[in-house]
Structure 1
Amino acid sequence: MNGAEIYKRLVEAIEDRTLKPGDRLREAELAETFGVSRTPIREGLKRLEAQGLAVHEPNRGMVIPTLDHGQISEVYYMREVLEGTAARLAAQHASNAEIEILQDLVEADRQRIADEASLVRSNREFHRRLYLASHNRYLVSLIDHLRLSMILMAGTTLDTPERRETAVEEHAAIVRAIAGRDPEAAETLARRHIERAEKTRLKKT
């Protein structure tokens, strides 16, 4: 594996919580884990650091950072702006096929309310499809970069059946606005969805 592949594997490990905020990133241990020399590990860690997913701490070396209350609020503010814009653009530019995919995801998610892990994965797919439906590659790139900061947050906002059910219905309302070609409503509903997710998240910090 080269440095780019190691970086990808490290991001996946952070996302699935194999590596958690606060964990140290030791070159020797990672080289043994991935069965490679230290050179690709060093390259992967350098890229991880450039993306803000690793920092140097005195006397500890490189670690996965923990976001504080203020940083979490900043991330969610940007999510609200960017995802609201994505929903607005999707209402203007999404193809009928893209809208049908979003509708199908919502219907499937209504059957997944009791399955937290499955709904968390599907939730990521719903948001990814929403971004793509904006038909703006620069916006998608910005959101993808912001998503990297999201994986530093512990747990999920979908850890109760009540929030899972509410979130799915919020998705449904966003899709209805997109299908109705109502950019204003789509943006408002998307922003409100992120705002509610932020409140749920901040209660955990």
Structure 2
Amino acid sequence: MARPPTVQDYVLTELRRAIVAGELRPGRPIRQESLAASLGVSRVPVREALKVLEGEGQVVHRPHHGYAVAELSLADLREVYLMRELLESEAARTAVVHLTDAEMEQVVTAQRDVAAASAAGDLAAMTEANRRFHFAILGASRLPRLVRVVRSLWDATDAYRSVYYNAPTHRETVEREHAAIVAALRARDAARLVALLAEHRDHAVAALTTIISDEGTRP
């Protein structure tokens, strides 16, 4: 994989990967000096990358303590997924109308990549392919502002999404649900597509609710 064009982009990419892979866990502090050393860069691009992630809600800055990966409360989780439901449902209905053959192929390619990453147990690759799968659908809506808002909502839950994929049963559920979503999209069945996407989100919320609850009880 080609290294991003700037040092800050490189650091940002690595931080995103570490959050998604669970190497940087919610609530855990981010040590800028050790991170800079491990990446072979100065603290300046690390600090700038953290500011970007703070703007996205993926990390938080605590006075006198520094940066930490953001923790998501159950109330936040449910609000994020409620907002996603409202926005993604509208985008899905519109996508069915505008979807081209080339866009359909992008969806199918991403679906295959999700399955391949799942089989390999590569959670970071699966998370990335899953995002491509969903945004290939949403992008066909021709509603770029809406899609940008949805992207920010996804960013807020990336750390938990990767944890969801830790369980093979969850990965199998994702693959099965993706196949049904693709079938509905091919059939241009907007009502079924919206319903399947809702079910897909509901299963994730149920699992993430358990994950967040369990993490909240740890000493």
Q: TM-score by structure 2 length?
A: 0.77
Structure 2 gap segments, 5+ residues each:
1-5, 213-219
2:201 aligned residue (173, 194, 198): 194
State the distance in 1 between where 2:14 and 2:47 align: 13
- Letter of the 2:155 partner, please give it: L
What corresponds to 1:180 in structure 2? 187
State the distance in 2 between where 1:60 and 1:66 align: 15
What corresponds to 1:90 in structure 2? 95
- Number of paired residues? 205
| CA RMSD, Structure 1 to Structure 2 (Å) | 2.8
2:59 aligned residue (42, 47, 54): 54
Paired residue secondary structure (2:151): helix
**1:130 to 2:137 alignment:** yes
- Letter of the 1:21 partner, please give it: P
What corresponds to 1:120 in structure 2? 126
Structure 1 residues 197 and 60, CA gap change in structure 2 (3 angstroms)? same
Report if the CA contact (8 A) 2:60-2:67 is conserved.
yes
Paired residue secondary structure (1:204): helix
**1:12 to 2:17 alignment:** yes
2:43 aligned residue (33, 38, 44): 38
5 Å-filtered alignment, 1:95-110, equals 95-103=100-108, 105-106=110-111
Q: Deviation of residue 194 (structure 1)? A: 0.8
1:131-175 Cα offsets, whole Å, 9 max, x none, are 222232222211221121112327433344443333323222222
Give the structure with the larger helix fraction.
Answer: 2
5 Å-filtered alignment, 1:64-79, equals 64-79=69-84
Structure 1 gap segments, 5+ residues each:
none
- Letter of the 1:167 partner, please give it: V
State the distance in 2 between where 1:111 and 1:66 align: 30
Paired residue secondary structure (1:33): helix
5 Å-filtered alignment, 1:163-178, equals 163-178=170-185
Q: Deviation of residue 198 (structure 1)? A: 1.0
State the distance in 2 between where 1:132 and 1:75 align: 19
Higher RCO (CA 8 Å, separation ≥ 6 residues) = 1
State the distance in 2 between where 1:171 and 1:6 align: 31
State the distance in 2 between where 1:102 and 1:5 align: 27
State the distance in 1 between where 2:114 and 2:39 align: 35
Q: Deviation of residue 77 (structure 1)? A: 1.7
State the distance in 2 between where 1:42 and 1:203 align: 33
Report if the CA contact (8 A) 1:87-1:187 is conserved.
yes
What corresponds to 1:150 in structure 2? 157
State the distance in 2 between where 1:3 and 1:108 align: 28
